[in-house]
Structure 1
Amino acid sequence: MTWVATSTSKAAVTDPMQQRPTRIVVDLGALAGNLDAIRAHVEVPVMAILKANAYGHGLVPVARHLQAHGVAQIGVAFVEEGIALRRAGIDVPVLVLGGILGRQAQQLIAHDLEITVSSLDKLRQVEEAAQALGRKAVIHLKIDTGMERIGVHSYSCGPLIEAAAASRWCVLKGVYSHLACADDPDSPMTALQVERFQEACAHFTRIGAPMPIRHLANSGGVLHAPETWLDMVRPGILLYGVLPDPAARASVPVRPALSLLSQVVYFKVVRAGHPVSYGATWAPAQDTRVVTIPIGYGDGWPRALSNNGEVLVRGQRRPIVGRICMDQFMVDLGPDGTAYNGDDVVLIGTQDGQAIRIEDVAQRAGTIAYEILTRLNERIPREYVGASGPG
């Protein structure tokens, strides 16, 4: 993705956050296009997963744009994320996917957040909170089909389904599970989980209760398993234009929405044999030109990229040398490389026809793209470009 400059107001010039050379640029047009591509692929409503600050893209701005673009539902992990959306004026349905404690139930109901109910005990707690407030709670039942994280086991879910269907204080809107291995198109685990989920849902028919909205597919399910699409899908990382696993098949045409950019803040010549950064883990074999980039592990940039990662400077790949510091790191331009203070540096994104993908960064850091994205913290200012049409 090519960075597109946004107009800067006089007020923004005096804002220190707007002056920081390091910034995340989020392409809202790419997000909307990815949502459209997923909807066209599955032909069922989409619950956009916005947990962990919308995978590092910015919770509220992303939610506002997707709401304007007609997203059916939003999913978050925690009650505080849901409350932040409501306070920002987001009024589409919001499901809190994570496990809850009884003391949180009233907050969920008061802010019109849909609640994951994963046991009979949780159901009773939600019912008590709803009765105390004098308003019904909207709930989704969580069935554990193989994650062993939260949810009632599929083989013992009957009593919970019966109690939820008969509840006076709960509106049973949905029933769902989570796929453990759908990122791998060849994993037999997905078929097993589908079978277990179907058996659990059959209990609604057996007791003569209406079938709630069934949702099962995460990003891997959207890409690889049409049998998981059911009544709604829950794409997370795919919505942001990133594949969930190196083994995943790119069956949906999405494009990355996030670029991570910085600028050169210092240039020097380092003599042969003079080590660079903490621990003296790297020294050049000959005199070389080294620049300093103002981002480090304090921003969420992985220290595992020390002497391992790459960036783009003037359209050329340049290695990160020495240990990454809390707030900055160094890059070797070689004996003949050139860069000036203020030159753009691309950590994730494209420059002059070269690209560094989030997947490339994750592989070099020995982790997954999810972790790279969600670790990019609020110390990095975010810019939003490409908003047009419905968004």
Structure 2
Amino acid sequence: MTIPQSEAGAVLTIDLAALAANYRAIVGMGGGVATAAVVKADAYGLGIERAGPALAGAGCTTFFVAHLSEAKRLRAALPAATVYVLNGLFGAALDTYTAHDIRPVLGSREDVEIFAAHCETVGRRLPAAIHVDTGMNRLGLDLAEAALLAEPGANALAFEPALLMSHFACADEPGHPLTARQIDRFQQIRGLFPGIPGSLANSAGCTLPAARHDLMRPGVALYGARYVAGRDPLAPVVTLEAPIVQVRSVRVGDTVGYGAAWTAGRNSRIAVVSVGYADGYLRQAGSTDRKTGAPMRVNGVLCQPAGRVSMDLIAIDVTDAGAVAAGDTATLIGDGIGVDDVAEAAGTIGYEILTSLGRRYHRRYTG
């Protein structure tokens, strides 16, 4: 459902041209390695039906989602794309994979056995990815299970192993020793499956030549969030702007918001916007007398929240922002304020900010 701007508390602008440019930038890192796109969680909250075609327009032909329902939505938007479902085999919906030409990522011995039996039932070697664990200890076959699967004549190969993949745990932390171990383990496991393309590089892994293999699969980097510690993100993709609904004066010593957690240290002007944690602007991004909140911009001036973020409203200290009136705009993301800046103030990561941005905004797509 599209909410009219006049009825929404804020406008979330999604720059599809920036998204496409970020994809092309990552392709440029890879030195000719094929590059997929991860569009799980509704394309990190930005809308899979819009993000998918924008990425396809930039040259992407292979996509990864988390759930089968997301795969069906993406298939409707991109009939010719290769689509993988990361979160294992949804066993009760096996026919859906066949009917919509969707590839499961098989991450357990049970997944392998179930999908192999399904292929035998339908009389076709359907394609699937094999997920091996190299140190994440979340999903994936362990080394012994992978070796058993690779044995000549293994019953599981009733399906077509179209991709061998694993997932990094710490590649966003440069120099972390687990990353080197995972690269070595994946190379070892690849030797068991000659001729099958390999994929290890997530967003951070795309910067590591030894991790690129045959298919890179960036995710968060595409959406303008930081993907390697200490490295600037790619182009920002989202902007969040909210009209100010009220401006009020408070005296020195007055408190603002729930819990009286913020006290005016001077006579102040407070602007209120109709955005809150129900819209995915996290409560922890607010301020208290002891904690600085997320940066916001009003009249071109960086400001701070005054008090806690509540469910539907945020108060902003605009004392230094000049003349501010109801109807003026506060920028909560954009204009030099990145999703990572909000995340840092909230004690979280840019991924959570992106995927939390709510459905009460008027969504505007550009590019």
TM-score, normalization by structure 1: 0.86
Q: Report the Cα distance in structure 2 between the residues aligned to 1:328 and 1:199, rounded to whole angstroms.
A: 53
Q: Deviations over 1:28-72 (max 9, x none)?
A: 111111111111210211110011121122111000111222202
Q: Which residue of 1 aligns with 2:221?
A: 238
Q: Residue 244 of structure 2 contacts residue 328 of structure 2 at CA under 8 Å; is this kept in 1? A: yes
Q: CA deviation at 1:359?
A: 1.6
Q: Report the Cα distance in structure 1 between the residues aligned to 2:145 and 2:104, rounded to whole angstroms.
A: 20
Query: What amino acid is the match of 1:64?
Result: P
Q: CA deviation at 1:279?
A: 1.3
Query: What amino acid is the match of 2:365?
Result: Y
1:358 to 332, 336, 339: 339
Q: Deviations over 1:144-175 (max 9, x none)?
A: 00000011112441122347976564221100
Q: Report the Cα distance in structure 1 between the residues aligned to 2:315 and 2:355, rounded to whole angstroms.
A: 23
Q: Which residue of 2 aligns with 1:204?
A: 193
Q: Residue 61 of structure 2 contacts residue 82 of structure 2 at CA under 8 Å; is this kept in 1? A: yes
Q: Which residue of 2 aligns with 1:149?
A: 138
Q: Residue 119 of structure 1 contacts residue 160 of structure 1 at CA under 8 Å; is this kept in 2? A: no
Q: Report the Cα distance in structure 2 between the residues aligned to 1:132 and 1:150, rounded to whole angstroms.
A: 26
Say yes or no: does 1:292 pair with 2:276: no
Q: CA deviation at 1:87?
A: 2.8
Q: Residue 299 of structure 1 contacts residue 327 of structure 1 at CA under 8 Å; is this kept in 2? A: yes
Q: Which residue of 2 aligns with 1:389?
A: none
Q: Residue 22 of structure 1 contacts residue 263 of structure 1 at CA under 8 Å; is this kept in 2? A: yes
User: Structure 1: any 5+ residue segments left out of the alignment?
Assistant: 1-11, 206-210, 387-391
Q: Report the Cα distance in structure 2 between the residues aligned to 1:163 and 1:61, rounded to whole angstroms.
A: 43
Query: What amino acid is the match of 2:328?
Result: D
Q: Deviations over 1:111-158 (max 9, x none)?
A: 211111123321121133334445542100001000000111124411
Q: Which residue of 1 aligns with 2:297?
A: 312
Q: Which residue of 2 aligns with 1:184?
A: 173
Q: Which residue of 1 aligns with 2:25?
A: 37
Cα 1:89–1:41 change in 2 (3 A) is closer
Q: Report the Cα distance in structure 2 between the residues aligned to 1:277 and 1:242, rounded to whole angstroms.
A: 30
Taking the TM superposition and a 5 Å limit, the aligned residue runs for 1:216-295 are: 216-223=200-207, 225-247=208-230, 249-250=231-232, 254-295=234-275
SS at match of 2:104: strand
Q: Report the Cα distance in structure 1 between the residues aligned to 2:177 and 2:320, rounded to whole angstroms.
A: 52
Query: What amino acid is the match of 1:258?
Result: V
2:331 to 346, 363, 382: 346
Q: Residue 288 of structure 1 contacts residue 333 of structure 1 at CA under 8 Å; is this kept in 2? A: yes
Taking the TM superposition and a 5 Å limit, the aligned residue runs for 1:60-209 are: 60-133=49-122, 135-162=124-151, 169-205=158-194
Q: Which residue of 2 aligns with 1:302?
A: 282
Q: Residue 240 of structure 2 contacts residue 333 of structure 2 at CA under 8 Å; is this kept in 1? A: yes
1:28 to 16, 24, 31: 16
Cα 1:159–1:316 change in 2 (3 A) is same
Question: Identity rate of aligned residues, in percent?
Answer: 34
Q: Residue 75 of structure 2 contacts residue 81 of structure 2 at CA under 8 Å; is this kept in 1? A: no
Q: CA deviation at 1:379?
A: 2.5
Q: Which residue of 1 aligns with 2:39?
A: 50
SS at match of 1:75: strand
SS at match of 2:187: helix
Cα 1:90–1:243 change in 2 (3 A) is farther
Q: CA deviation at 1:311?
A: 0.7
Q: Residue 296 of structure 2 contacts residue 331 of structure 2 at CA under 8 Å; is this kept in 1? A: yes
User: Structure 2: any 5+ residue segments left out of the alignment?
Assistant: 288-292
Q: Residue 288 of structure 1 contacts residue 336 of structure 1 at CA under 8 Å; is this kept in 2? A: no
Q: Report the Cα distance in structure 2 between the residues aligned to 1:146 and 1:127, rounded to whole angstroms.
A: 26
Q: Deviations over 1:9-41 (max 9, x none)?
A: xxx8xx546642412111111111111111121
Q: Which residue of 1 aligns with 2:290?
A: none
Q: CA deviation at 1:214?
A: 0.4
